[in-house]
Amino acid sequence: MQKKVATAAVLAAGALLLASCSTNKQEAGSGGNSGGQSCDTSKGTLVVGFVAPLTGELTALGQGMKNSTDLAVSQANEKCAVPGYKLVLDAQDDEKTPEKGGQAATKLASDPNTIGVIGPLNSSVAQVIQPILAAKKIVQISPANTNPTLTRGENYGTAPKRPFETYFRTCATDDLQGPYAANYLVKDAGKKNIAVVTDGKTYGEGLAGEFIKQAEKNGAKIVAREKVGEKDTDFSGVIAKLKPSNPDAVYYGGEYGAAGPFSKQLKDAGVKVPLMGGDGIVDKTYVQLAGAQAEGDLATSVGAPAESLSEAKAFIDAYKAKNYKDPYSAYGSLSYDAANALIGGLAKTLEGGKAWSESMRADLLKNVGAYKQNGANGEMGFDQYGDSTNKLLTVYQVKGPDFAPLKSGKFEG
């Protein structure tokens, strides 16, 4: 399972979108934009689908993703990015469950005007959504799925093979994030005896597995390996099992809903060592759940914090100007870039005044795959598997009420 665009970058990311704008505007007697003009939307509306948890414990992440996607859609409409059409966002709540995600994808896929889907947040949900959208050749771009099997199959390390040509993502993957975390925890922080705990889900298991391989390669010892339930509230049993192993750090594969209380109970039980996790825990909600003793806990996340990137300034300013109730959170700028890639591909597909039909999804798929721009996270594009060409990662540490970035870079082996 994240942040970031200078004004010039917005223009670059929207270059494909704006090519026809000068001829797509009509004089408006009232209700036009500030220039007294409005866009031609005589051909109707096209749907940008969205799937993520919009309620429940991961609401902070899901709402940030939705708002950032909404921002890209709103800007495209303001700039008459898709001649003849108005774009509308259809946001579906998957409640972070595969079943709800599948229902959401089925609903979106049934609409012939759905051009693509942004999301989901959880890799386990993506596994269910992928074949549903692929059956209709609907482009899917996730800002947050990090499990490598989604793009390169079960044998991603030795014999990569793309399972679904319709699936893309704008974030780096766990076979980069897990080892990057291991390098930091073992080499930089000097931790040698590490306990590993996961929530048993696709994301947590995959991330922890990659972490373990690199940590052991670096000379660390995995002194305990335990599993909790994502809905557990009492972790005393697991803590009692790992405490005798005297770890000097705990690596957690999962999300902040369980990770925060687990960290608190860990320290309360006398295991006062840093807990480290992945992008699924990078949110201030983790700190609220973990309490004051979380100070010094660590995490990695995909991309870099939007506030640290010059390319992200216009995104941040535009987001603030919209007065969204929720912050853009960990995956906001990655969602913004994902939506712009979809919209850019659509603008290319409909060049020359073409009218949309479901038969054009194959062309849209090709144009999204070829999309290359500077986005809120910098370099924006996809490789032959649909993975992001931007492999940037960041280590964060809890300082006060939130995570603060420590270092950014790429996994070098």
The two structure tokens encoding residue 391: 């492999």
Q: Which domains does the chain have, with CATH numbers?
A: 7-172+308-382 (3.40.50.2300), 175-302+394-409 (3.40.50.2300)
Q: pLDDT class for 9, splitting at 50, 70, 90? A: very low
Checking if the pLDDT of 269 tops 80, the result is yes
Question: How many other C-beta atoms can be found within 10 angstroms of the C-beta atom of residue 405?
Answer: 17
pTM: 0.88
Phi-psi region of 221 (alpha: psi -120 to 50; beta: other; left: phi over 0): beta
Checking if the pLDDT of 249 tops 80, the result is yes
Q: pLDDT class for 26, splitting at 50, 70, 90? A: very low
- In this prediction, residues 378-395 reach a mean pLDDT of 95
- In this prediction, residues 204-210 reach a mean pLDDT of 97
Task: Please give the span between the terminal C-alpha atoms of the chain, in angstroms, as a whole number.
Answer: 21
**Alpha helix stretches (DSSP H) within 48-201:** 59-78, 98-109, 123-134, 149-152, 174-182
Backbone angles phi, psi at 363, to 5 degrees: -65, -40
Closest CA to 403 of 291, 281, 250, 289: 281
Backbone angles phi, psi at 377, to 5 degrees: -100, 15
